[in-house]
Amino acid sequence: MCGIVGYIGEKQASPVLLDGLSKLEYRGYDSAGIAVYDGSKINIEKSKGRLKVLSDLIDGGKKLKGTCGIGHTRWATHGEPSDVNSHPHTNKVGNIAIVHNGIIENYMKLKTYLISKGYEFVSETDTEVIAHLADYYYKGDIIDTVIKIINKVEGSYALGIISSEHPDEIIAVRKDSPLIVGLGDGENYIASDIPAILKYTKNVYLIDDNEIAVLKKSGVTLYNTDKEVIEKEVFEVNWDIQSAEKGGYEHFMFKEIMEEPIGIANTVNPIIKQGLIKFDKIPKKLHIVACGSAYHVGVVGKYVIEKLAKIPVEVDIASEYRYRDPLLTEDTLVVIISQSGETADTLAALRDSKKRGAKIFGIVNVVGSSIARESDEVLYTLAGPEIAVATTKAYSTQLTAIYLLALSLAKANGNLSAEEEKAYCDELMRLPDYVSDMIKQKEKIQYYASRFYNSKSVFFIGRGLDYAISLEGSLKLKEISYIHSEAYGAGELKHGTISLIEDGTLVVALATQDALYEKTMSNIKEVKARGAVVLAITEDGHYNIEETSDAVLYIPKTNPLFTPSLAVTLLQLFAYYVASLKGCDIDKPRNLAKSVTVE
C-alpha cells in the first residue's frame, strides 16, 4: 500500500520520480504527487487518480525542474481520495515537504495540540500532522527534528522529507513500514520497494526501524536515534531489470504464471541438493500465521505437515492472531508466510510470538525484508519479483516451501525413511514439469472461461487438500474478475450452502484426492440435481467424472500431497481468462494493494 520514491543527484528528479512510482503502481493507490526543489523553493504537483493524470499535468516531469525530490502514490486511509489529501504534504510556509507510508495512530491528539499552537490544517490526513510537527520542532538541525518526531508519533511510518533549508539533502526514516536506500554514482535514492529503483542501481541499504538516512548526491550517512553514525552492509539485489518488466506479455499476472515452473525449481533444487532443513530442536506444535493467499498456503500446510510429520498444526489469519492470546511455548514453532516480508499484520504477529518465547520460521520471497531479518530461520521462495497484485508464482513457490518444511520435520521426527525421503524428493523435482504441463492446457482453459465468464456467483468445493486449494481458486477469481465466489468444504453443502444452488450456478469441483474421490462425486451429483453447471478438476484416469460434469480439466497422477501445486495453476489461469474476457484491470484490481503495510 502506498509507494515512496526519492531522488537526489545531477539528473532532473521529476522523470526519475515518475518512473519509480510507475514501478510501484502494483502496490495499490488512488492518487499521486511529487515535490521537487528547484534551487530556491519546493514545488509540488499532486492529483487524484492514476499516475498518468499526474504525469500529463507536469508533461512527464518537464514542468517541474530540480535535481532533488520526493514522490508518492497514496492509498486513502485518513480522508477520501482527493487532490488535497494526496501527498506530499507541507508545513504552512512550504519549506518542508513530506511523503509518508503507514498510519499515525495518535494523530488526532497531535493535531489537537498543534491547532492549540496556531497551526492550520488543510487536509484530512494523518500525514499533515508530521509536516507541522517538523515545522514546530525545527530549530536548524533536521536530524534533531526527525528524532523528536520519532519520539512523538505512534504507529507505523516510512518518511521521505525534503526542506529548502537543507537543499542538498533527503531525509528518510522508517518504523514498521518498508523503506530502502539506493546507492548510485553521484546520485542516491529512497524507495518503498526494489522495483522502483532497480533500473538505476542494484546496491541498497535495507533500513531498519528508527534508523535515519541522510542522502546527498555525494553519499549516504545513517544515524540512530542517539544521532550516532551507524555502519550497514550494502545489500546487492540479484534481480535483473527484465524480471520486473512484462517481457512482451500483456499482463504481469500471465507472465508470472508462466514463470511458476522455474520459480518452483529454484526453490526446490537448493534444498534437495544440499539436504533437507535440519532442526536442532523438534517442535511439539506449529502455528502457521499469514494473510490472504499466504494463509491459504498455511491451510495446505496443516494437512501436509500433520500427515507427514505427525506434529499438530494451527493455522491463523495474522490480523486475528495476536488478539486471541495464542498459547505459545519455547516448543512451539511459528511459521510466518509472506511474499513481501513486510505485511504489517504478519510482521506484528511475528514480533508478538517472539516476545512469547516461540521460535520463528519465515517463508519469504524478498531477501532482506523485515520478516526475513527478524525470523530465527528463513526459507526463501525464489520466485523473483512479483508485480501483479494477485499472487500466482509466489503462492506456488510458498506451497513448495511448505512441502520442503513438512519433509524436513518428518525426517527430523523420525517419520520418514530414507526410501520415502528419496521418493518424495524425486516427486518434488518433477513438479516444475508437471506445472509446465498444466500451462499447456491454457487454450482449453480459455475456452471454458469463455463459457462461464458471465457467471454471477461461483462456488468452489472440495474435500481435504482440495478444499484448501479451493480457497485460493475462489480468491483468485473474485479479486481480479469481481465475480462473487466462495469456497466450501464439499461435505458442508447440506449444512446450508446448497440452498444457494440454482439453475446455471457455476460450481468448480476439485476431486484430486483418490481417498475422497467418491465422496466428492456424490457432492457433484447433489449440485447437478439442483441445476448447477460443474467444472471439475481431477486426476488422469477418473474419466467417469465426465458423466456428471459439464467440463473437466485433468492433472497427471502425482503424490496426493502435491496435487495442490498442479490444480492451483489451472485455477489461476481460469481466473485470469475470465477477468480478461470481462475487461478487468488484471494487474491492478480495484481497491486492492500488493503490499499491505498497514493493519
546: left (phi over 0), alpha (psi -120 to 50) or beta: alpha
Question: How far is Cα 50 from Cα 596, in angstroms, rounded to an integer?
Answer: 19
Q: Residue 251, class by beta-carbon neighbours within 10 Å (0-12 exposed, 13-18 middle, 19+ buried)?
A: buried
Q: Read off the C-alpha cell for 561.
A: 500431497
- Return the C-alpha cell found at 173: 526514516
Place of cell 542538498: 168
Dmax (CA) for the chain in angstroms is 79
In angstroms, the CA 297 to CA 393 distance is 12
User: From residue 408, how far is each of 26, 197, 304, 412, 424 by CA, in Å?
Assistant: 35, 37, 12, 6, 11
Sign of the CA dihedral 414, 400, 291, 361? positive
**553: phi > 0 → left, psi -120 to 50 → alpha, else beta; which?**
beta
Q: Which residue in 154, 209, 170 sits closest to 35, CA to CA?
A: 170
Cell reading at 219: 553519499
Give the whole-angstrom CA distance, residue 315 versus residue 326.
11
Q: Active-site residue numbers?
A: 2, 594
Q: How many CB atoms are located within 10 Å of the residue 454 CB?
A: 12
Residues 415-437 as b or e (16 or more Cβ within 10 Å = b)? ebeeeebeebbeebeebbebbee
What does the DSSP assignment read for 269-319? HHHHHH-SPP-SS--SEEEEEE-HHHHHHHHHHHHHHHHHH---EEEEEHH
Cα–Cα distance, 356 to 331 (Å, whole number): 11
**Rounded Cα–Cα distance for residues 278 and 408 (Å):** 7
Backbone angles phi, psi at 43, to 5 degrees: -105, 135
How far apart CA 222 and CA 231 sit, in angstroms, is 7
Task: Tell me the residue type at 56.
Answer: D
